[in-house]
Amino acid sequence: MHADPVPVRQASGAIHGFLEMRSEDGRVVASGDVTRVVRGDRITSRTVFRFRDGSVDDETTVFSQRRTFQLISYRHIQKGASFPQPMDLAIDMKSGQVTVHSTGKDGKAEDKIEHLDLPADLANGLVPMLVENMHPDSGATITVGMVVATPKPRLVKLEITNVGEDKCLVAGSARKAIHYEIKIDLGGVAGVVAPIIGKAPPRIQIWTIGGTVTTFAREYGPLYAEGPMMTIQLASPTWPSGAK
């Protein structure tokens, strides 16, 4: 599978950020933490969402960033009432092994283990870093690979395109956000995958805010195949009324 290497324009460092997830009616359904830890030339990024109904979405990505972004390992766990089909997806780039533990609609557990010819620029867990490092010109496009669980692991393509600038506010101050659109290209497996993940997978929207350093700001899309559309964005801590 062809993939476009994204040059590392800004190296990722240690961070601890806060996220919120809202449903289409504007309700906050989950709070999240994103952390990145740097050890030598390896970065471990982890994003964990804890839902009000007790569900958990836990994604851990280990990667390097020498000249381009290189995935080393990846694990994504979704469990709880918010996920009709709980899943545990693991990818090891060195061996090419992809493991999927899932629970079907009938409640039966399924285990799938595949050895895939993984592209060097596989983007699982790396999309926020990739858009932060993409060229800011409108119309710029990259194509990267991604493994999806159907529940059998399969390779698809993501086409990420800069569609221009949108206005946003930060504490009431006007800013410009760069808007990216992600199209899921099922390629030659469309006939097999489409009935499972949707005949026309929705396009995912992502926004970054630039400047001296570019940062992820917002994402709009589903958490799983045929799932409801959710908005994920940066959040700030708040204090109870009267606290000093």
The 3 state secondary structure assigned to 134-190 is CCCCCCCEEEEEEEEECCCEEEEEEEEEEEEEEEEEECCEEEEEEEEEEEEECHHHH
CATH of domain 15-234: 2.40.360
The pLDDT value recorded for residue 199 is: 57
pTM: 0.90
Structural contact between residues 209 and 217, judged by C-beta atoms closer than 8 angstroms: yes
Distance of CA 116 to the CA centre of its chain: 21
Higher pLDDT, 167 or 139: 167
Check pLDDT > 80 for residue 81: yes
Higher pLDDT, 104 or 39: 39
| Host H or E run for residue 46 | strand 42-51
The pLDDT value recorded for residue 191 is: 47
Rounded distance, CA 9 to CA 213, Å?
10
Which two structure tokens, joined as six digits, stand for 65?
Answer: 């960033």
Band of pLDDT at residue 146, cut at 50, 70 and 90: very high
Residue recorded with tokens 């009000």: 52
For residue 37, give every residue at least 6 positions away whose Cβ sits within 8 Å of its Cβ, in sequence order, or none.
14, 43, 44
For residue 188, give every residue at least 6 positions away whose Cβ sits within 8 Å of its Cβ, in sequence order, or none.
none
For residue 212, give every residue at least 6 positions away whose Cβ sits within 8 Å of its Cβ, in sequence order, or none.
none
Which two structure tokens, joined as six digits, stand for 114?
Answer: 């595949």
Rounded distance, CA 106 to CA 103, Å?
8
